[in-house]
Homo-oligomer: A and B are copies of this chain.
Amino acid sequence: MTPESMDLVFHALASRARRAILDIVRDRPGCCVQEVCVHFDVSRIMILKHLRILEEAQLLVLKKAGRKVELYFNAVPIQMIYDRWTSEYSSYWASKLVDFKMLLESEPKKPPPSPSSHPRKLKQHEPK
């Protein structure tokens, strides 16, 4: 898996709306765009854009069928990321987590000292 395609997958998954679309399509294999749209408040055009992003990440397969488009979920990219991460991060999987008890004992963040501590300005600009 190239870094570029991995970027596409992570980016596609970063949006809650897109993850929700994946959930819907996974539960309704072969459903069309309209069926996805009814679950959202945003416009159909926005859903289309999300679908393209998911398609480019190969998380969805779009298959034209007459005037409809059938949607299918593809788990392969997620599996590939999982495979890479479990091997790279294997030593952290449920083992080294013990140390975090120690880390969490560090002092809590201090509140800011005063509301007008250092007022600065780089450049003036027009108010709207």
One of B75, B79, B103 near A61 (C-beta < 8 A): B103
A11 surroundings in chain B (CB, below 8 A)? 14
**Residue A3 is within 8 A (CB to CB) of chain B in the complex:** yes
User: Which chain B residue has the least Cβ–Cβ distance from A105?
Assistant: B63
Given contacts A7-B16, A11-B14, A14-B11, contact A89 B75 (CB under 8 A): yes
Number of interface residues of A (CB under 8 A): 35
The digit string for A1-30, where 1 denotes a CB below 8 A from any CB of B, is 001000100110110100100010010000
20 other A-B residue contacts (CB within 8 Å) besides A73-B92, A74-B97, A78-B89: A10-B13, A10-B16, A23-B88, A61-B100, A61-B103, A61-B104, A63-B103, A63-B106, A64-B106, A64-B107, A72-B99, A72-B100, A72-B103, A74-B100, A75-B89, A75-B92, A75-B93, A75-B97, A79-B94, A82-B82
Q: B-contacting residues of A (Cβ < 8 Å)?
A: 3, 7, 10-11, 13-14, 16, 19, 23, 26, 61, 63-64, 72-76, 78-79, 82, 85, 88-89, 92-94, 96-97, 99-100, 103-104, 106-107
